Amino acid sequence: MRVALFVTCINDALQPRTGQAVVGLLERLGVQVDFPAEQSCCGQPQFNTGYRQATEPLVRRFHRAFRDYEYVVTPSGSCAAMVRDNYPRIGAKAASEGRGRDLQQIAAAAVPKTYELTEFLVDVLKVTDVGAYYPHVVTYHPTCHGLRMLGLGDRPRRLLENVRGLELRELPGAEECCGFGGTFAVKNPAVSAAMGADKVRAVIGTGAEAVCTVDNSCLLHIGGTLARQGAPVRPVHIAEILASTEASTEGPEVPTEGPDAGTVGTEGSLR
């Protein structure tokens, strides 16, 4: 099986390890991974801030990059949701403004083949045990777009529960938004920070070594808040956990000690 990796702009520029983990994981599962270089951003930041027309060239670019593939896999719940929920809206609005139906057709083609990583693993590859080994205490935060727009349900949890060595700790108030919300984080910084602080308090309270999500954008916010507080909990994308094996030498060495390791109430959880 051959799939195209839609790595997303944030992962490309800031979290390449996540993309590398997806490549390693899928190849280990016998999938051939391509990275169409023409890909770029899905357009979510523009669209969600109100710049719909500025999003359209990115929709077309997505189409050019991925039109020849049967499966597009992305390690981002919110970018997958952008394609699946919002591309059709962009197409419909363009058509209603009398600017042709091609964006609608592009969206119709993109929607059924775009998968968030855990969806692809569970629904297409039909695996929940990917042979991963990750001997750490982890808590899982279901990100809003994964949870409510894509309806990922328990897929990420099922994958994590089958990781050897991993102890999964329940996150209280897991389904509450972390407060990132794209440009919300800078347009309403006080509320965003207050939400982030509550999320981080819950994360630290689990005693986990790492907090995991299906989205690095939320992790930038959660991890940035954790780091500012000097908390020794490390943000890690689920792909990096699923890519880890006993044999893996590179990839995530989680967790490295934070700046003030051990000063926050997580006794016994750090190696």
Q: Which residues bind other proteins (CB under 8 A)?
A: 7, 9, 11-17, 19-20, 23, 35, 37-41, 43, 45-55, 57-58, 61, 86, 89, 144-145, 147-149, 175-177, 179-197, 220-221, 223-225, 227-228
Helix, strand and coil content of the chain, in percent to the nearest 5, comes to 50, 10, 40
Nearer to other proteins, 162 or 248 (CB): 248
Residue 234 Cβ, how far from other proteins at the closest point, in Å? Answer: 12
Q: What are phi and psi of 167, to 5 degrees?
A: -105, 120
Residue 44 Cα distances to 58, 86, 147, 162, 263, angstroms = 9, 9, 17, 32, 38
Q: How far is the CB of 137 from other proteins (least distance, A)?
A: 23
Nearer to other proteins, 137 or 218 (CB): 218
Q: Closer to other proteins at the Cβ: 34 or 123?
A: 34
Nearer to other proteins, 1 or 14 (CB): 14
Side by side, the strands of the sheet bearing 2-5 are 32-34, 2-5, 72-74, 114-116
Q: Which helix H or strand E contains 5, and what residues bound it?
A: strand 2-5
The Cα–Cα gap between 214 and 41 comes to 17
Q: Minimum distance from CB of 150 to other proteins (Å)?
A: 10
CA atoms within 13 A on the CB side of 213: 29
Of 263, 260, 248, residue with least CA distance to 25: 248
Give min distance, CB of 71 to other proteins, in A. 18
Residue whose C-alpha is closest to residue 183's, from 206, 217, 223, 149: 217
- The least distance separating other proteins from the CB of residue 181, rounded to whole angstroms, comes to 3
The CB-of-73 to other proteins minimum distance in angstroms stands at 14
Query: Pairing mode, if any, of strands 137-140 and 210-213?
Result: parallel
Give the nearer residue to other proteins in terms of CB position, either 190 or 247: 190
Nearer to other proteins, 156 or 181 (CB): 181
